Structure formats: structure tokens, C-alpha cells
Amino acid sequence: MTAAMTPSLLQVSDLKVRFCTADGELQALRSVSFDMQPGEVLAVVGESGSGKTQLALALMGLLAENGSASGTAMFQGHDLLSCGQARLNRLRGSEMAMIFQDPESTLNPYLNIGRQMSEVLEQHRRMPHAQALQVAEEMLHQVRIGNPRECMQQYPHELSGGMQQRIVIAMGLLCQPALLIADEPTTALDVTVQADINRLMLDLRERYQTAIMLITHDLGVVAGLADRVLVLYAGQTMEYAAVRDLYRQPEHPYSRALVRAVPQLDSQHGAGLQPIPGNPPNPLQIPSGCPFRDRCEFAFTDCTATPLLRPARHGGQIACHLETLPE
């Protein structure tokens, strides 16, 4: 799916993530491959436990101590999985940044916003303090904080959840990274603030040409935001497609179930909404064969063998034994 002649910003191949737990080895990701172009928005979608957050943490070198990653993840000439902590520390914050669902996990409650933001620039860009304060204030303006100067003096607890998340986005973009990983950035916010933050991320993508990896369990937020979608289930790629293709004609039963679970604007009170029956498998006991088969209405005898990722009709990729998804 890589566009011809366009060098990828990020090229992930055969990424596997494992955790050693008291109950045995947990495979959070099992051979995931994809690429991202400069300025692209890639949505990584899946239910809880699909491995999407571990994907982000593996790329950022932030896996828990009992976790390990293998494969390659080439980013600006460096393999993020083997380049070492010193290189990763330099890349994090300057070339790649991550924002989390909960702004409180990013913001320091004991420092005012101006101090927190200016420190990022002083540390990663070696910027003099006065200039860093100026740039931080301008970035608060960019994320549509009404009174940036006053906000610089405030502490996180004095700000609403929506304001805090805008500030986290501003901090993530301060060094104008080439890649921003946003893990459920709006889940904790109310719907109007969610829409506002999503618009804001798109504006900033346009302005800074930042590629955004948007991690979400909700396919509904992806439609107006992403260029491509990577659908994960039980740590494996189910479908990888342009967003318009995935919405119009998903080729994998799981993707179609996700699309049908999205409330439509024209539906009344959730009418037509079809939640996916059943639950994802226990990550410690993923069955052999297709991991979705216990929930798949089209499962047949071949599905006891693991389906390999193959080209789909829409030009993307799917992992399913069905030749054609019935209507």
C-alpha cells in the first residue's frame, strides 16, 4: 500500500510484542506490518485488548518491564526497536510524541503550564528560556486557548478536561514532531469537546505536516479524520485499507461488524446499531486459527487455520479465508 516513490515516514514490519506474566507468555501483537507517509493520519482501531496501545508503546520504547518487541520499525533511518534508549530519548519529544487519553498522566500538577511547556523546548530544542515562553504561548494560541498568557500561569487543576487535553496536544506539537501518536485522545471528553479536539488535530496536521497515528476503539471518530485504517483484533491485523473503502465496503467480517456498530447520524436513538456479540479472546489463550471465529457469523471449516494477510479487492489487505464477504 505504500505510495510509489514516496519514502515512508514509518515502516513497521513483522512487529511482535510479548509479555512474560505469572500466568505465562502473553502475545499482545503477532506480526503486524504497516507504513505511514509524512503528514498521513493512520487510525489504529480495535476493541480493548486488540494490542493497539501496546503497538504505540512499543514504537515509543515505553513497554512495561516484562514486555519485549521484535521485528523492525524504521523511522527516519533508525529502527525504533533496536536503536537504544539514548537515541529513543532524543527522538521522543523532538521527532515523535505521544499523547494519552488521560491528560493528568502527562501534566505535572506542581508546575504551571508555562513552566512545563517551556521546559520541553529548552530540553529538546535547546531554546533560551524567554524564547521558549514566547513559543509556548503562541502554541497555546494555536490550540485555541482563549487567553494563553493567563493560561501559562495556571496549574493543571485549575483547567477543565478539554483545556488540559488541548495543552497536552500543544505540548506534543511544541517541537513540531514528524509523528504524533494519539492514544484515545478524546475518549474522556464530552462529545462537543471531542469534535473540537479532532478538528484541532486536523488543523495542526495541515499546518505542521505532522503524521498522526490515532488509536481508538471507536470507528465512528475515524471517518472524518483518518486517511487509512489498520484494524487489529487479538494482536493481529484483520484489515488495512483507505478509510473510505473500509466504510463503504469493508471486506473483513470484523471490520464490517465495527462499521455496523457505529451510530449513524440519521439513525434515531441508536436504531440500526448492531453491537458485536461476544467478547475478544483472553490474550493468554488466543485460539489457533482465525482469532475472530467464535464471533464470526461466516466461520467455516477452513477458519481453524490461521488466515494470512492477503491483498483485498479495495487495494488494501485482509486476513480472512472468505473469498467474498456475503451481503
Radius of gyration of the chain (CA): 20
Q: Shortest gap between Cβ of 326 and ligand SF4 (angstroms)?
A: 10
Site string for ligand SF4, 215-244 (x = CB under 6 A): ------------------------------
The residues near 200 (Cβ < 8 Å, ≥ 6 apart) are: 143, 144, 166, 169
Site for ligand SF4 (CB under 6 A): which residue of 290, 312, 316, 317? 290
50 or 142, CB closer to ligand SF4? 50
Q: Taking the C-alpha atoms of 68, 74, 78 and 84 in order, what is their torsion angle to the nearest 10 degrees?
A: 0
For residue 207, give Cα distances in angstroms to 49, 176, 203, 211, 255: 34, 10, 6, 11, 31
Is residue 132 within 8 A of residue 122, CB to CB? The reply is yes
For residues 310 and 289, the answer to whether their CB atoms sit within 8 Å is: no
Nearest to 140 by CA among 112, 174, 96: 174
Per CB under 6 A, the segment of 6-14, 240-248, 262-270, 296-304 that binds ligand SF4 is 296-304
Indicate whether 298 belongs to the interface with ligand SF4 (CB under 6 A). Answer: yes
Question: Which stretch in 35-43, 239-247, 262-270, 293-301 sits in contact with ligand SF4 by CB under 6 A?
Answer: 293-301
Phi, psi dihedrals of residue 70, rounded to the nearest 5°: -135, 170
User: Least distance from C-beta 7 to ligand SF4, angstroms?
Assistant: 34
Question: Is residue 321 involved in binding ligand SF4 (CB under 6 A)?
Answer: yes
Point out which span in 189-197, 221-229, 269-277, 317-325 binds ligand SF4 (CB under 6 A).
317-325
Residues lying near ligand SF4 in the complex (CB under 6 A): 253, 290, 292-293, 296, 298-299, 303, 307, 320-322
